[in-house]
Each structure stands twice: as structure tokens, then as C-alpha cells.
Amino acid sequence: MTHSILHIDASIKPAGSISKDLTRAIVDRLRGAHTDSDLIYRDLGANPVPETDAAWIVAVNTPADQRNAEQSEIAALSDQLIAELKAADTVVIGLPVYNFNLPSQLKTWFDQMARAGETFRYSESGPEGLVKGTRAIIAYSSNGTRLGSDIDFASGYLRHMLGFFGITDVQFVASDHFAIDAEASLNAANEGIANLAA
């Protein structure tokens, strides 16, 4: 059975991105174990998806058969991003930490997919995620913001949004003190990758 991988990078660096190096290593490990895997790749730093705005909220809440051409185009991208996420057995996300939080490009990717009836639904017991059975592996990189520390506002948000969509199998590998000890920071991340179940 084909294993589907969705690979998301969010670094704005054109070269020398640690998070990109780590996501590539994770994807290589997964593809080595699943030789028949399918891969969809999005580089949100180089090719960001549009921010949501008033036109977006109108478009995605207009029935498909009533949308004009512009609304259909706006909704089509959102639909495509959701379809990519739902089709993935594993989603690999690069999480470079900028100013203690995630890149705006990565938040916009989540914003494009946060649609009631598509990735979650409201129930009497509260919101329920609709993306089931997907595993997420997060490559966390930072010069000095330690994963899970009081100043890490990135990983908790990412874990919450994935869980909100229904993805609760979430693992992190981290190079989180690169500016302090580059070698140790990368060694820790690579050890985390080596210990991942493929």
C-alpha cells in the first residue's frame, strides 16, 4: 500500500536552513522505509500561500455552485491544501522559530485549512477534528529557543492546531540551541531522526 507523505517547509532562508535540512532527512528516512511512497512538497517560505482575508471568508462560505470565478479560484486553493493534508499518511513540517514563534507563512497555511466541516466540526461536546489517522513529524529549529521552554510559543501552537484538525500523533525532533552549540544542537536533532519509527 502506498504511503503518502506531505512535506512542508516554512523557512524564509534561500540557503543554509537547518529546518529544511532536517525535514529532508526525515523524508529520506520515511521514503527509505516506504519505497512506494508518494510525496507532495510545499515550500511556504519560497512560495507562500495567500493570507486569508474578507474575500477568502466569503468565497469558502459560498456554496460551490454559487461562486463567481474569483471566489472559485480562492476556494480551490484552500480545497487543494485540505485535500493534500487529508490524503497524507505522514506530514513532515519544518518549524523554524522566528522571534519565539512560528513563521507567518506557516500560520497562513493553517489558516487556509481551518474550515468548519472540512478539517473540524462543531459538536455538542466541542470542536472535533476531521483529519484522522495522520502522523505528524515536526523538525524544530532555533538558535536558542529551547523546545518546550517558557519562551517557545511555536511548538505548542503547532501541536494545538494539528490536534484541532484531528492529528494527535505528533513527534518533534529539535535543533534548538544552534547559536550556542551548533554541533550538539545538530547531533541532538539527527539522533532524534535516527530514533524515529519509519
Chain segment 129-147, per-residue pLDDT in tens:
999 999 999 999 999 999 9
Cα distance between residue 142 and residue 154, in whole Å: 10
Contact in structure between 135 and 92 (CB atoms under 8 Å): no
Read off φ and ψ for residue 39, nearest 5 degrees.
-130, 130
Q: For residue range 17-32, list pLDDT tens digits in order.
A: 999 999 999 999 999 9
pLDDT at res. 167: 98
Q: Strand pairing partners for 137?
A: 92, 171
pLDDT at res. 20: 98
Q: With 80 as the cut, is the pLDDT of residue 126 above it?
A: yes
Q: With 80 as the cut, is the pLDDT of residue 49 above it?
A: yes
44-55: average pLDDT: 97
Q: If you search the block for the grid coordinates 511512497, which residue do you land on?
A: 37
67-96: average pLDDT: 97
User: Structural domains in the chain?
Assistant: 4-194 (3.40.50.360)
Q: With 80 as the cut, is the pLDDT of residue 1 above it?
A: no
- 19 marked ligand binding residue: yes
- 11 marked ligand binding residue: yes
